[in-house]
Amino acid sequence: MKTVVALSLVGAALGAPTKTIENRQFGGLGALSSLIPSSGSGLSGLGSLGGSGSESGLGALASLLPSSSSGPGDLSSLGSLGGSSSDSGLGALASLIPSLGSGLSDSSSSSGISSLLGGLSKRQLTGSITANDVIDKASCKELTFIFARGSDELGNMGSVVGPPVATQLKSLTGNKVNVQGVTYAATAESNVALGANGGPIMANLVETALKQCPDTKVVLGGYSQGSMVVHNAASRLSAEVTGAVLFGDPFKTQAVGKLASGKVKEYCASGDPVCENGFNVMAHLSYGSDAKEAAQFLIEAAGLSTSS
């Protein structure tokens, strides 16, 4: 399945990660690091992704996104990057981030970065998932996971990290979890609402889940713009939520409502343009690899145990 990538940026400048944040370095990304060169070479360094020596770079690139076994995001179409011609490699990579356009050949570092930032105005991902266990009044389960997707992801769970976390929760609990996505206008333009466009919807879903199943433990998750939705929703709730995981969170330095810091886990990959003001677009798309750890954290935060 082909994954077409671009990404929404939030204009706020944020400080260094706090101690609650998982900061991941991307070893083996020498080829990919040339996306944003430090000198006047523009993005011409992408040529190192092509040719016979491209395998190590491609391996690192493929490892950034979850495989089809853990959810949407199959990168099988990236095979063409390893051809004998760097042009074919660049073409395939450009198809992942089509908005980069002229930045791939621009000789100016500043204009190359400008093209990149312009191309990060939207994200379009295929293979999205919709989950409506709360809305559909599914049978009560020990855990309820409510998730807010990132900008321009389809469905109400998106595809980058929401579905993988939900899958891991089901696996680790023996399917003792209901999953609900937040259906809100997750557009690039709605970033200016700072979560207020989806926060009330998420808060209402929490209250509905507890009304339908008073004994369930509710945990939240959010990715990119969806993380701001979690912050907004949590500020409207008291003790209804038992844990939260946030990925690529623009508000990573802020508390999540009244949740204790030990009940919140932030994931901010090194170079992420959204949570770290970096320039590695692939970092912002890498959080599927954190799904199992995040699911384990939510289960423990809710005071539950994994299935044997």
The catalytic position among 48, 99, 151, 284 is 284
Q: Tell me which of 74, 133, 249, 272 is the catalytic residue.
A: 272
Three-state SS for the chain is CCCCCCCCCCCCCCCCCCCCEECCCCCCCHHHHCCCCCCCCCCHHHHHHCCHHHHHHHHHHHHCCCCHHHCCCCCHHHHHHHCCCHHHHHHHHHHHCHHHHHHHCCCCHHHHHHHHHHHCCCCCECCCCCCECCCCCCCCCCEEEEEECCCCECCCCCCCCHHHHHHHHHHHHCCCEEEEECCCCCCCHHHHHCCCCCHHHHHHHHHHHHHHCCCCEEEEEEECHHHHHHHHHHHCCCCCEEEEEEECCCCCCCCCCCCCHHHEEEECCCCCCCCCCCCCHHHHHCHHHHHHHHHHHHHHHCCCCCCC
231 is catalytic: no
Q: Is 284 a catalytic residue?
A: yes
87 tagged catalytic: no
Exactly one of 224, 227, 286, 289 is catalytic; which is it? 224
Active-site residue set: 224, 272, 284
